[in-house]
Amino acid sequence: MTLKNDIFLRALLKQPVERTPVWMMRQAGRYLPEYRRVREQAGSFLDLCTNPELACEVTLQPLERFDFDAAILFSDILTIPDAMGLGLYFSEGEGPKFKNPVATAADIKALPIPDPDAELRYVMDAVSLIRKDLQGRVPLIGFSGSPWTLATYMVEGGSSKSFQKIKSLMYNEPELMHQMLDKLAQSVALYLNAQIAAGAQAVMIFDTWGGMLATEEYQQFSLAYAKRVKELLNTEQDGEKIPVIFFTKGGGLWLETMADGGFDALGLDWQTDIALARQRVGDKVALQGNMDPVALYAQPGAIVEKVKSILDKYGEGSGHVFNLGHGILPDVNPEHVKAMVDAVHQYSPQYHQ
């Protein structure tokens, strides 16, 4: 099946496009009433993730409303630790948690590397089904957490503010930390390669918590393992290149070394100035971002101005994928998303003449 709209893939590879492509992190989610209905029908968020038909249905929902140029697999980054036996659950208002967090050296040594076609079969089934239902409308993005970000949840047992447990492990027993990250890098690469084999046309590595590290530790414990994952990926499938996007939230300080990591594109959070970011990475990578997700609470007129300003800061030529600087928040008015997407369509062609 040939793709009817491939501007997202072309922009990631810095090939010419007619306008700037746009999609949104967490584009399928609670801000959509149709999502909330399917989630209720499923019972819970995890029931939704593990049911390929329903995961497919909610993946496609935002494309029915908005002219997005990519779909993203509906799932979660914590499927890998769950498949390792940590027992993922979500408690209302507190986010993700694990019944069996990783606490000791013995726990780390015992961590299995999940077989993506067994324990994570439900994810691959969702990918195949979504590809089929998309019928080539837009490309499908597969994703995973970065080894570092997965490790933070696995050691902290859930979300954290200070990252005391994982950082103590890292500072006290760096060798053990490296063993854990090495296992995670292998698991993530197997998982993403299986998504690619099942039909993912681009992949994104979410390093949500890399920005909590000091510079030296970021290089050694976060970036090094994301690069490792990239090296292990099969980035060609059926003769097509599979672009890889790496996103470290709070990574603006380290763009130069990230740009040397072998990725096709970097995700940018909203604190980073996209004009400066483009100068700093040069021709090495495309950039994806970076409107403040909270700007979507402003009135549509103000949102349009923000979109114009970001397009203008990136400037002329390919290599920009419009997105938010992090995921959309659950109570944003969907009409405001429409204002953002339509503004990208209206105001971006002038930068691609």
List of residues contacting ligand CP3 (CB under 6 A): 25-30, 39, 45, 72, 74, 76-78, 95-96, 143, 206, 208, 249, 327
Closer Cβ to ligand CP3, 140 or 180, answer by number = 140
Q: How far apart are CA 98 and CA 84, in angstroms?
A: 11
| Annotated catalytic residue, options 19, 39, 131, 278 | 39
Taking the complex as a whole, the smallest distance from the CB of residue 105 to ligand CP3 amounts, in Å, to 26
Taking the complex as a whole, the smallest distance from the CB of residue 98 to ligand CP3 amounts, in Å, to 12
Take residue 100 and report the two structure tokens written for it. 């069996």
**C-alpha distance from residue 140 to each of 6, 38, 79, 221, 248 (Å):** 10, 21, 18, 29, 21
Taking the complex as a whole, the smallest distance from the CB of residue 315 to ligand CP3 amounts, in Å, to 27
39 is an active site residue: yes
76 is an active site residue: yes
Overall size of the chain counted in residues:
353
Closer Cβ to ligand CP3, 157 or 275, answer by number = 157
Taking the complex as a whole, the smallest distance from the CB of residue 119 to ligand CP3 amounts, in Å, to 18
Closer Cβ to ligand CP3, 76 or 156, answer by number = 76
| Annotated catalytic residue, options 31, 35, 153, 225 | 153
Q: How far apart are CA 290 and CA 267, in angstroms?
A: 8
Q: How far apart are CA 175 and CA 179, in angstroms?
A: 6
Q: Phi and psi at residue 79, in whole multiples of 5°?
A: -65, -35
Take residue 290 and report the two structure tokens written for it. 């970076």
Question: Which residues are CB-contacts of 210 (< 8 A; sequence separation ≥ 6)?
Answer: 146, 148, 149, 218, 222, 223, 226, 248, 249, 250, 251
Maximum CA extent, the chain: 59
Closer Cβ to ligand CP3, 207 or 284, answer by number = 207
Taking the complex as a whole, the smallest distance from the CB of residue 93 to ligand CP3 amounts, in Å, to 7
Taking the complex as a whole, the smallest distance from the CB of residue 143 to ligand CP3 amounts, in Å, to 5
Closer Cβ to ligand CP3, 207 or 264, answer by number = 207
| Annotated catalytic residue, options 19, 26, 228, 278 | 26
Q: Which amino acid is at 36?
A: R
30 is an active site residue: yes
Closer Cβ to ligand CP3, 248 or 348, answer by number = 248
Question: Which residues are CB-contacts of 342 (< 8 A; sequence separation ≥ 6)?
Answer: 67
> How many other C-beta atoms are found inside a 10 Å radius of the C-beta of residue 238?
7
> How many other C-beta atoms are found inside a 10 Å radius of the C-beta of residue 277?
20
**Which residue of this chain has its Cβ atom nearest to ligand CP3 in the complex?**
208
Residue 102: closest CA among 214, 45, 180: 180
Residue 72: closest CA among 53, 55, 54: 55
Taking the complex as a whole, the smallest distance from the CB of residue 199 to ligand CP3 amounts, in Å, to 16
Indicate which residues carry an active-site annotation: 26, 30, 39, 76, 153
